[in-house]
Structure 1
């Protein structure tokens, strides 16, 4: 087993870490800047959001990309590996909506 594989979090750890699923669900809709994520998740602190984004980037579930001019800012997008979780994230979103826990 390579060092990178041995340090990766399990899928269960990723999904159970607070704020990870909501962040990834937002990114299902397309690229989002830090400020967009913070606005859509007002209860998460900036420090926690930064940590979750770094963790997800380290796990190769999202990437930071530069937006084209005139924006010239960075945004976060799901990687192909993050996109592999689409069906799981959509199922969680649908169940949350059915139970009245999400908009």
Structure 2
């Protein structure tokens, strides 16, 4: 996976100041290598096509020092046993609560 990220600024969400970070990138399979760095000719059951893409946003809560929300979208071109299998995925995670730890 090759990912580029960018700091988009400080935003106020849910009553907290958060750093907003965006990212985008591509996923692709590379040939397996042996211990000397030579490409192996073995076939993998599942590989990523070269045009698989991912993007999203992360919100980092500056006060609580944790990720409070992440939004992820991917258009993945899988090849399963050589047959194309396009996959579209959207994932959102949200922080529900923070519990203090004992000193």
Under a length normalisation based on structure 2, what TM-score does the superposition of the two structures give?
A: 0.21
Per residue, is there more strand in 1 or in 2? 2
Larger RCO (CA under 8 A, 6+ residues apart): 1
Per residue, is there more helix in 1 or in 2? 1
